[in-house]
């Protein structure tokens, strides 16, 4: 009981003399439990009920002496119980208003007498006797029972046997009973507490935001105004000063209801209550609680303001009218529906409703304590992302990991940055899904000493003149600004606002100092976002116009750091930052007096470098790429590329590489003769520079002329030699990419063979990250187009790793691998190896891949396999369900897939038995359905397939029945000779059937075929002639029949 | 002053002053005599700008406001300590003031900050110079507390030999690490913007 009373019961704050129990539901429940215990005591334990307390329980009672009846001696203002102890002292003695009771029996009776005053009496008793156990059993027992706790019952029994007298036995029993009561009370209060919802800063903030939306003048609103007393929000979301936060207070709000005075309300974790209000003179808040605790702000306001409660209930009706939707995108639909029947004014209110709905769902979301990663990356990427995030933030983690393998950690981090770029590249700019949640330092967590030092410095920044500010800035710079604690400390004490404000002053020195700090701390992704939120970017963009060069440099460098995410890049563009940054690139044009030109030059170069750095960051957004081009950035970048400063070249090439994803840029890069310099820089010593150059070549080499330029400028040799260094995976990926694209040109492949690059590429087929593999396999696929190279690959043992890669899941990789395997399969010797490795089966199963590119690529690869495999027919038949799968692919709507599948079917149909099977699977109607197409590639392969399929049964007739003939005739009007040849062959086969001949003749095939007979292509000649002869023969036969 | 004498003065000053061209020196000399006003040259009377006149120039042209610093700048110009800036001191002084190299400026600033000329900037001197640097402290215990703290911060940053005062070596090292600390204890050089204005007014003076 003692523990429950001291710990759980809620006593009023100290400092009011005697403590009293607060009127709270919890306290009431505790007192009731105690009353029940005492009331039943006399029945349950009659013997113990007679036990006389060591000291009487004494308190001021409200009981009237007249209430006591039999068993008591009542005389005026005193009452004595007839029951007395050994010494004749009465067990109950009342002399108004003091009452003394010395046994449970008397306590029970007293409560019985008190009737409906029970609660008050019990409370008064507990308040007056703060340690009842000690009074009942004596101090020593109190201590003993505390020590015993509830576990060592055996100890108690020991003691009983030792003492060996009845009184102590009774005492022990009572002690046990009290102990049990205590436990019971604790459990009970625990239940109570767990029922209570404790507020947190998030929910409070949401409540207030919500109410703010409904505040204002007019009777419709719920409140006149609601605002915080302090604008400053701490990192944990609280606005109360730290020394009050310890008490669980979150913030103070001034609420002006329509029908009451302004209320000053404290929102604390326990609940919401009125405080002493704001004192007028100093604006300080009297924190003392002045009213009851309510469970939240709305409940309090409902109690205090009638209009609030009335208007609020209206709003709630509106809520209930509208079913709660989880998806906010449902809202507009409803809005439309409502506006149909409602006037403009009511439309406004529906909008408000929707807003509330959003607020509500957000509210529920906020309650979850999870960090939600809303980036739309696949789960795998997400994991790596999170890993590195952890790595970046958790200092300890980073240490342990980097000790394992620094290279690998760096790689992961880089690849994550890549992922981020890809995300921001591919998705449209209007979305904001990339925002990461802030993770802030716990308010009461152990703050490092730096925190307080930085707080002090920020204070001087705020309240100092220029001199003091510069000193404070310089001192702040001495902190380890690369460390996250310091970065966040600056933000959390409000330093970011001050630093950004300083940028708007006229003081150059303050601006420089401030930017020097911002530049460092903006390496932190959270700080970047905070800077953007505080409107730091427009100010920095303006500084780019400053005549002061070092200021320009710092501003550009800081922008480079901040503009790592999409929203920031957009802000830079919207404020004309791109044009200004491009202008920075224009250095050296107006160099000053000759005497100081060298000094001027280095400073100008520095400015240009910083400009390029910022553009590099910005160039990750599509719209910015356009803006850079429009601002005339490309010629300037081209000029800077001719310089020899390495740290200048990296951002310049980086920007170009980033921008080369756009067709416009590729053309411009060619026109500005940039390739030459890119190639030159491949020979640089700097790995990063090499990487970006290779990357730029990779992007540009889609263009044939560019590929030739790379060769002419001698770029292939450095690329080939860079293959030998495989430690830097990023660079390796870029280099292999460049090789892949360059090897699309045959001349380049020859060069690569000279440089022994193909052997090296085969060596890279194992133990490489996927981004490298994709490029390596792509390059090999291009090389395999030539016989010599195929031999080299086979000899180097390249086929096995290639076939092994067929089981991957990376789509880009699969497309390239299938292409490479298909190219190898052209060689019968290689085909044997592929067959042995079960490569055909793997290719065949890729036909089930969900992505059309993979399907098509796999189908193309199957063609040479079937051509060159021994016992191809038998092999194809051995794939269970394989033929059906292929035939069903004819239902695809992707032209490339259809063309490739037609090609596969052509090869399958070479085997009579298989042709029979696919005919049974209904290949004829499916092919006929495809006949009406304008795609020449599909036309060619379709015609080939049809001609091949005519070889079985009555398929010729069936094609005629399914109306495939007329469209085929039209193919002859195409411009493609390949189509002509295939079509003529198909028509020749079809013309074996008389009805088809009639159709052909009707569609004017004869004239078209006659032209074809004059073609230099012999096969075409032959087929066309054959077809004509079939048609002619039929005509003759008809004539003969007519005349005979 | 006759032309011949002026020519001679210009030549000698140009020879000894590497930051100004001959034309600029000439302009400055003219400016000096304009500022001094029409005082007839007599034996025994020193021609020059007195403290008040000079402070006025500092205030009007270079926008300086701090009395103490302006006094110190005057001392910096007034090499011979006669309470008056002669034409030579004027040209030499401005040469450092407007176009000085970092080394020259450091020397000049250190002299300005070393109030008692003992070649050390002591805590007391720092306190003296910084005492007005913090705006009204919101009801905090000791109003000087912040200044004292600021002095400690400065010492921590600049006092490399930990002797509790700044020697020129300390100061030089700190400035080389962070140029912003050149005018650590108050602005005693023209603001870059102001000197541009100055250029506009007098066509010849510019800070590179």
Please state whether beta strands B120-121 and B84-85 pair in parallel, antiparallel, or not at all (unpaired).
Answer: unpaired
Sheet architecture: strand order including A72-75: A57-60, A98-101, A92-95, A78-81, A72-75
**Looking at the complex, does the CB of residue A602 fall below 8 Å from at least one CB of chain B?**
no
Comparing CA positions, the residue from A222, A225, A224 lying closest to residue A310 is: A222
Directed axis angle between helix A379-393 and helix A395-404, to 10°? 110
Q: What is the mean pLDDT of residues A599-609?
A: 78
Q: What is the mean pLDDT of residues A322-335?
A: 44
Residue with tokens 């509330």: A356
Query: Is residue A356 pLDDT above 50, yes or no?
Result: no
- Give me A610's structure tokens: 């910083």
Residues of chain B found within 8 Å of residue A549, distances taken between Cβ atoms: none
pLDDT of residue A378: 41
Q: Which of A474, A481, A543 to mutate to test the interface with B (most CBs of B within 10 A)?
A: A474
More confident residue, A634 or A388: A634
Query: Is residue A688 pLDDT above 70, yes or no?
Result: yes
Which tens digits make up the pLDDT trace of A796-851? Answer: 888 899 998 888 888 899 999 999 999 888 888 888 888 888 888 899 989 988 89
Tell me what ipTM this predicted complex has. 0.89
Closest residue, chain B, to A547 (C-alpha): B193
More confident residue, A63 or A735: A735
In contact, A193 and A65? CB cutoff 8 Å: no
Q: What is the mean pLDDT of residues A544-553?
A: 88
pLDDT of residue A318: 53
Query: Is residue A514 pLDDT above 90, yes or no?
Result: yes
Q: Tell me whether residue B64 is exposed, middle or buried, using C-beta atoms within 10 angstroms of its C-beta: 0 to 12, 13 to 18, 19 or more.
A: buried
Which tens digits make up the pLDDT trace of A692-729? Answer: 999 889 988 888 888 888 898 888 988 888 888 888 88
**Looking at the complex, does the CB of residue A546 fall below 8 Å from at least one CB of chain B?**
no
Residues of chain B found within 8 Å of residue A460, distances taken between Cβ atoms: 134, 146, 149-150, 153
More confident residue, A324 or B47: B47
More confident residue, A412 or A986: A986
Query: Is residue A354 pLDDT above 50, yes or no?
Result: no
pLDDT band at A51 (very low <50, low <70, confident <90, very high): confident
- Give me A164's structure tokens: 């060996």
Least confident of A210-224, A664-678, A1011-1025: A210-224
Query: Is residue A531 pLDDT above 90, yes or no?
Result: yes
Beta-carbon contacts of residue B41 (< 8 Å; ≥ 6 apart):
B1, B47
More confident residue, A824 or A114: A824
Q: What is the mean pLDDT of residues A98-125?
A: 82
Radius of gyration of chain A (CA): 44
Q: What is the mean pLDDT of residues A100-115?
A: 82
pLDDT band at A172 (very low <50, low <70, confident <90, very high): confident
pLDDT of residue A540: 93
* Letter string b/e over residues A515-546, b meaning 16 or more CB atoms within 10 A of that residue's CB: bbbbbbbbbbebbbbbbbeeebbbbbbbbbee
- Give me B188's structure tokens: 């005693």
pLDDT band at A393 (very low <50, low <70, confident <90, very high): very low
Q: What is the mean pLDDT of residues B140-147?
A: 74
Q: What is the mean pLDDT of residues A766-773?
A: 87
Q: What is the mean pLDDT of residues A1016-1027?
A: 89
Residues of chain A found within 8 Å of residue B180, distances taken between Cβ atoms: 470, 473-474, 509, 512-513
- Phi and psi at A617, nearest 5°, equal -60, -45
List, in order of start, the domains of chain A with CATH numbers.
2-144 (no CATH), 201-304 (no CATH), 480-584+600-631 (1.25.10.10), 636-746 (1.25.10.10), 871-1041 (1.25.10.10)
- Give me A356's structure tokens: 């509330």
pLDDT of residue B169: 92
Tell me the C-alpha distance between A557 and A610, whole Å. Answer: 5
Query: Is residue A277 pLDDT above 90, yes or no?
Result: no
pLDDT band at A230 (very low <50, low <70, confident <90, very high): confident
Residues of chain A found within 8 Å of residue B178, distances taken between Cβ atoms: 474, 477
Q: What is the mean pLDDT of residues A868-885?
A: 86
pLDDT of residue A17: 44
More confident residue, A4 or A798: A798
Least confident of A149-158, A567-576, A816-825, A1006-1015: A149-158
In contact, A262 and A272? CB cutoff 8 Å: no
Task: State the sign of the Cα–Cα–Cα–Cα dihedral B109, B111, B114, B120.
Answer: positive
pLDDT band at B69 (very low <50, low <70, confident <90, very high): confident
Query: Is residue A408 pLDDT above 70, yes or no?
Result: no
Minimal CA separation from A476 to chain B, in Å: 10
Q: What is the mean pLDDT of residues A531-559?
A: 91
Query: Is residue A9 pLDDT above 60, yes or no?
Result: no
- CA geometry: angle at A330 spanning A328 and A333, to 5°? 135
Average pLDDT, rounded, for chain A: 78
Chain B residues within 8 Å of chain A (Cβ atoms): 129-130, 132-137, 146, 149-150, 153-154, 156-157, 178, 180-181, 183-187, 191-193, 196, 208
* H or E element, residue A265: strand A263-268
Cβ distance A474 to B180 less than 8 Å, yes or no, reads yes
- Phi and psi at A774, nearest 5°, equal -55, -45
More confident residue, A197 or B84: B84
Cβ distance B180 to A513 less than 8 Å, yes or no, reads yes
Which tens digits make up the pLDDT trace of B100-131? Answer: 888 999 999 998 899 888 999 999 999 988 88
Tell me the C-alpha distance between A245 and A442, whole Å. Answer: 12
Q: What is the mean pLDDT of residues A416-430?
A: 41
More confident residue, A945 or B131: A945
Residues of chain A found within 8 Å of residue B137, distances taken between Cβ atoms: 463
Across A77-81, A144-148, A306-310, A580-584, the highest mean pLDDT is recorded for A580-584
Which tens digits make up the pLDDT trace of B6-29? Answer: 888 888 888 887 788 888 888 888
Instruction: Please state, for a pLDDT cut of 90, what percent of chain A lies above it.
Output: 16
Closest residue, chain B, to A468 (C-alpha): B133
pTM, two decimals, is 0.59
- Give me A674's structure tokens: 């940039």
Please state whether beta strands A78-81 and A72-75 pair in parallel, antiparallel, or not at all (unpaired).
Answer: antiparallel
Cβ distance A457 to B186 less than 8 Å, yes or no, reads no
Which tens digits make up the pLDDT trace of A564-594? Answer: 999 999 999 999 999 999 998 887 544 333 4
- Phi and psi at A174, nearest 5°, equal -60, -40
pLDDT band at A143 (very low <50, low <70, confident <90, very high): low
Query: Is residue A371 pLDDT above 50, yes or no?
Result: no
pLDDT band at A372 (very low <50, low <70, confident <90, very high): very low
pLDDT of residue A137: 78
The alpha helices in A102-199, defined as continuous H runs, are 104-114, 118-128, 132-137, 139-148, 153-163, 166-195
Comparing CA positions, the residue from A103, A18, A122, A21 lying closest to residue A63 is: A122
Query: Is residue A559 pLDDT above 90, yes or no?
Result: yes
Residues of chain A found within 8 Å of residue B184, distances taken between Cβ atoms: 467, 470-471
Q: What is the mean pLDDT of residues B187-203?
A: 60
pLDDT of residue B193: 60
pLDDT of residue A271: 81
Q: What is the mean pLDDT of residues A518-532?
A: 92
Tell me the C-alpha distance between A923 and A417, whole Å. Answer: 49
Q: Which of B133, B160, B191 to mutate to test the interface with A (most CBs of A within 10 A)?
A: B133
Which tens digits make up the pLDDT trace of B48-62? Answer: 888 888 888 888 888
Q: Which of A478, A506, A548 lies nearest to residue B157, judging by beta carbons?
A: A478
pLDDT band at A507 (very low <50, low <70, confident <90, very high): confident
Minimal CA separation from B154 to chain A, in Å: 7
pLDDT of residue A938: 92
Taking the mean position of all CA atoms in its chain, how far away is CA A453? 34
Q: Which of A465, A466, A471 lies nearest to residue B154, judging by beta carbons?
A: A471
Q: Which of B143, B178, B207 to mutate to test the interface with A (most CBs of A within 10 A)?
A: B178
Q: What is the mean pLDDT of residues A289-311?
A: 79
Instruction: Please state, for a pLDDT cut of 70, what percent of chain A lies above it.
Output: 79
- Give me A810's structure tokens: 């990376």
pLDDT of residue A195: 56
Residues of chain A found within 8 Å of residue B191, distances taken between Cβ atoms: 508
pLDDT of residue A164: 55
Q: What is the mean pLDDT of residues B175-202?
A: 73
pLDDT band at A359 (very low <50, low <70, confident <90, very high): very low
Closest residue, chain A, to B134 (C-alpha): A464
Least confident of A150-154, A874-878, A1010-1014, A1024-1028: A150-154
Across A153-167, A378-392, A523-537, the highest mean pLDDT is recorded for A523-537
Cβ distance A467 to B185 less than 8 Å, yes or no, reads yes
In contact, A365 and A342? CB cutoff 8 Å: no
């Amino acid at each position: 009981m003692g523990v429950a009373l001291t710990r759980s019961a809620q006593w009023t704050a100290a400092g009011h003399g005697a403590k009293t129990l607060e009127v709270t539901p919890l306290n009431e429940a505790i007192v009731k439990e105690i009353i029940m215990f005492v009331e039943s005591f006399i029945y349950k334990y009659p013997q113990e009920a007679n036990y006389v307390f060591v000291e009487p329980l004494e308190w001021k009672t409200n009981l009237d002496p007249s209430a006591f009846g039999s068993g008591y001696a009542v005389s005026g203002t005193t009452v004595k119980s007839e029951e007395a102890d050994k010494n004749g002292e009465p067990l109950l003695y009342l002399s108004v208003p003091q009452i003394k009771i010395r046994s449970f029996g008397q306590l029970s009776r007293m409560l019985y007498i008190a009737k409906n005053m029970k609660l008050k009496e019990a409370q008064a008793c507990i308040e007056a006797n703060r340690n009842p156990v000690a009074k009942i059993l004596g101090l020593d027992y109190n201590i003993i029972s505390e020590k015993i706790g509830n576990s060592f019952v055996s100890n108690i029994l020991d003691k009983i046997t030792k003492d060996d007298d009845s009184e102590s036995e009774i005492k022990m029993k009572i002690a046990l009973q009290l102990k049990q009561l205590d436990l019971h009370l604790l459990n009970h209060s625990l239940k109570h507490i767990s029922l209570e919802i404790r507020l947190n800063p998030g929910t409070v903030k949401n409540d207030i935001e919500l109410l703010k939306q409904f505040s204002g003048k007019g009777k419709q609103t719920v409140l006149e105004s609601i605002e915080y007393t302090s604008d400053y929000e701490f990192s944990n979301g609280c606005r109360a000063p730290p020394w009050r936060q310890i008490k669980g207070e979150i913030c103070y709000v001034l609420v002006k209801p329509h029908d009451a005075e302004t209320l000053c309300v404290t929102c604390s974790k326990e609940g919401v209550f009125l405080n002493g209000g704001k004192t007028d003179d100093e604006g300080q808040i009297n924190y003392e609680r002045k009213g009851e605790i309510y469970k939240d702000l709305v409940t309090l306001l409902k109690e205090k303001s009638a209009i609030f409660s009335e208007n609020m209930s209206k709003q709630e009706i509106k809520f209930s009218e509208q079913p709660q939707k989880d998806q906010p995108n449902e809202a507009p639909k409803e809005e439309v529906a409502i506006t149909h029947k409602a006037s403009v004014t009511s439309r406004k209110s529906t909008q408000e409703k929707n807003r509330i709905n959003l607020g509500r769902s957000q509210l529920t979301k906020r309650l979850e304590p999870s960090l939600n990663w809303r980036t739309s990356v696949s789960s795998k990427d997400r994991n790596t992302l999170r890993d590195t995030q952890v790595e970046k933030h958790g200092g300890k983690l980073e240490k342990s990991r980097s000790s394992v393998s620094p290279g690998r950690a760096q790689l992961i981090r880089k690849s994550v940055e890549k992922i981020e770029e890809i995300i921001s590249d591919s998705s449209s700019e209007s979305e904001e899904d990339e925002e990461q949640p802030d993770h802030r330092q716990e308010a009461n967590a152990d703050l490092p000493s730096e925190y307080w030092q930085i707080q002090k410095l920020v204070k001087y920044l705020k309240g100092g003149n220029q001199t003091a500010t510069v000193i404070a800035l310089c001192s702040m710079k001495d902190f380890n600004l690369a460390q996250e604690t310091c970065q966040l400390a600056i933000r959390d004490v409000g330093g970011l606002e001050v630093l950004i404000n300083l940028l708007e002053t006229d003081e150059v020195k303050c601006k420089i100092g401030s930017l020097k700090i911002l530049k460092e701390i903006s390496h932190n992704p959270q700080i970047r976002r905070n800077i953007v939120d505080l409107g730091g970017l427009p100010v920095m963009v303006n500084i780019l116009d400053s005549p002061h060069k070092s200021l320009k440099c710092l501003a550009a460098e800081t922008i480079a750091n901040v503009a790592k995410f999409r929203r920031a890049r957009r802000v830079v563009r919207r404020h004309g930052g791109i044009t200004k940054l491009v202008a920075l690139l224009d250095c050296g044009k107006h160099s000053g007096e000759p005497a100081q030109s060298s000094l001027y030059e280095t400073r100008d170069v520095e400015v240009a470098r910083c400009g390029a750095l910022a553009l590099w960051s910005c160039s990750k957004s599509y719209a910015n790429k356009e803006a850079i081009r429009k601002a005339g950035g490309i010629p300037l970048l081209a000029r800077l590329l001719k310089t020899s400063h390495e740290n200048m070249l990296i951002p310049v090439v980086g920007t170009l590489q980033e921008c080369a994803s756009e067709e416009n840029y590729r053309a411009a890069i060619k026109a500005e003769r940039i390739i030459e310099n890119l190639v030159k820089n491949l020979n640089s010593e700097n790995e990063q520079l090499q990487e970006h150059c290779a990357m730029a070549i990779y992007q540009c080499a889609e263009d044939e002329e560019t590929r030739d330029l790379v060769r002419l400028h001698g770029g292939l040799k450095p690329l080939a030699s860079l293959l030998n260094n495989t430690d830097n995976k990023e660079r390796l990926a870029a280099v292999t990419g460049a090789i892949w694209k360059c090897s699309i040109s045959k001349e380049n492949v020859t060069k690569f063979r000279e440089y022994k690059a193909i052997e090296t590429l085969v060596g890279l087929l194992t133990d490489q990250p996927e981004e490298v593999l994709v490029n390596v396999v792509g390059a090999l696929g291009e090389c395999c187009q030539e016989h010599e190279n195929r031999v080299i690959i086979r000899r180097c043992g390249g086929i096995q790793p290639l076939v092994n890669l067929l089981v991957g899941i990376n789509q880009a990789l699969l497309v390239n691998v299938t292409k490479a395997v298909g190219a190898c399969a052209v060689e019968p010797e290689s085909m044997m190896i592929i067959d042995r490795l079960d490569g055909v089966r793997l290719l065949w199963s890729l036909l089930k891949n969900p992505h059309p590119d993979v399907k098509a690529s796999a189908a193309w690869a199957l063609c040479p396999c079937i051509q060159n495999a021994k016992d191809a027919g038998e092999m194809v038949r051995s794939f269970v369900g394989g033929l059906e799968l292929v035939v069903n692919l004819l239902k695809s709507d992707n032209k490339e897939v259809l063309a490739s599948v037609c090609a596969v079917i052509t090869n399958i149909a070479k085997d009579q038995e298989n042709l029979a099977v696919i005919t049974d699977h209904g290949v004829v109607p499916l092919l006929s359905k495809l006949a009406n197409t304008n795609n020449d590639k599909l036309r060619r392969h379709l015609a080939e397939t049809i001609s091949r399929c005519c070889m079985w049964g009555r398929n010729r007739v069936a094609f005629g029945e399914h109306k495939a003939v007329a469209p085929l005739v039209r193919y002859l009007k195409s411009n493609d000779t390949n189509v002509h040849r295939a079509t003529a062959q198909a028509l020749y086969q079809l013309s074996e059937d008389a009805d088809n001949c009639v159709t052909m003749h009707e569609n004017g095939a004869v004239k078209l075929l006659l032209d074809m007979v004059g073609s230099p292509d012999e096969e075409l000649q032959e087929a066309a002639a054959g077809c004509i002869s079939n048609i002619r023969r039929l005509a003759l036969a008809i004539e003969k029949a007519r005349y005979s | 002053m006759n032309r011949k004498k002026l020519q001679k003065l210009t030549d000698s000053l140009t020879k000894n002053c590497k930051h100004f061209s001959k034309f600029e020196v000439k302009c400055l000399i003219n400016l000096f005599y304009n500022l001094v006003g029409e005082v007839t040259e007599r034996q025994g009377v020193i021609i020059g700008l007195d403290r008040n006149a000079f402070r006025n120039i500092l205030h009007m042209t270079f926008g300086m406001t701090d009395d103490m610093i302006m006094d110190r700048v005057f001392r910096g110009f007034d090499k011979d300590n006669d309470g008056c800036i002669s034409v030579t001191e004027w040209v030499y002084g401005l040469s450092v003031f407007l176009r000085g190299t970092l080394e020259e400026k450091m020397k000049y600033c250190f002299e300005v900050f070393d109030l008692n000329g003992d070649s050390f900037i002591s805590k007391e001197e720092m306190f003296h110079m910084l005492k007005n640097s913090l705006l009204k402290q919101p009801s905090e215990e000791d109003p000087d507390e912040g200044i004292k703290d600021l002095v400690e911060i400065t010492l921590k940053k600049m006092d490399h030999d930990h002797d509790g005062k700044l020697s020129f070596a300390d100061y030089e090292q700190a400035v080389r690490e962070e140029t912003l600390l050149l005018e650590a204890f108050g602005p005693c050089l023209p603001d870059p913007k102001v000197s541009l204005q100055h250029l506009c007014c007098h066509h010849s003076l510019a800070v590179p």
